[in-house]
Amino acid sequence: MRLIFLHGPAAAGKLTTARALAEIVGYPVFHNHLVVDTLTTVFPFGSDPFVRLREQFWLAAFEEAARTGRSVIFTFAPESTVRSGFPALAVEAVQRHSGTVHFVRLAVGEAEQERRIENPDRAEFEKLHDVSTLRRLRQEPGEVEQPPVDLEIDTEHSSAQESALAIAQHFALPVVAAEGRYGEIS
């Protein structure tokens, strides 16, 4: 089992790259906003129950995927409400079942990030989509824990398809038959 842990700042192209990688290798995409958007219907973002349940859900999904041998692509934006040590916990959950985690940092320059942040496609999920909020968040004090980096890709100079191909080649990812949400093979 492989957990491809794509991380980087807002608008770095995590979901776009994850989808392109899924097309190449057939792994499902576990977009972090699926959990975030679900939990914020019940608990405010950053509240204790939200933070605790989000982490539990992510880790439980990783562990079950590893236990069943199902490789997954996960998208993750490091930010202040994620508890310290989360990347290490993800590795532990996967390694308990002999899986491997590959950390890929997607980078983007500030000017390009600001250009992308207001793209309409960011409305598909409740993603950050306001330049003034992005600038405010950049100025907040304190360090945000960054996951490890096994591979870094500058998405400002690499398309999603090029980035996905680089990831697949760098880690020699095996291709699997893509299975849809309801068990159909595509």
In a domain, residue 51? The reply is yes
| Higher per-residue confidence, 181 vs 162 | 162
In a domain, residue 177? The reply is no
In a domain, residue 40? The reply is yes
In a domain, residue 183? The reply is no
Q: Given the DSSP bridges, would you call strands 100-107 and 2-7 parallel, antiparallel or unpaired?
A: parallel
| Domain coverage including residue 94 | 2-170
Instruction: Give the confidence band of 117 by pLDDT, cuts at 50, 70, 90.
Output: confident
Looking at residue 123, what is its pLDDT? 65
Residue 5 · residue 103 · CB < 8 Å: yes
In a domain, residue 142? The reply is yes
Residue 102 · residue 4 · CB < 8 Å: yes
Q: What is the CATH number of the domain that holds 25?
A: 3.40.50.300
The count of domains in the chain is: 1
What Å distances lie between residue 66 and 56, 98, 144, CA to CA? 15, 7, 27
In a domain, residue 175? The reply is no
Which has the closest alpha carbon to 67: 132, 1, 133, 131? 1
In a domain, residue 179? The reply is no
Looking at residue 121, what is its pLDDT? 74
How many Å apart are CA 63 and CA 69, to the nearest integer? 10
In a domain, residue 65? The reply is yes
Position 57 pLDDT exceeds 80: yes
Instruction: Give the confidence band of 128 by pLDDT, cuts at 50, 70, 90.
Output: low
Q: What are phi and psi of 22, to 5 degrees?
A: -60, -35
Residue 180 belongs to what H/E stretch? none
pTM score: 0.88
Q: For residue range 45-55, what is the model confidence (pLDDT) as tens digits?
A: 999 999 999 99
How many Å apart are CA 139 and CA 118, to the nearest integer? 19
Q: For residue range 152-172, what is the model confidence (pLDDT) as tens digits?
A: 999 999 999 999 999 999 999
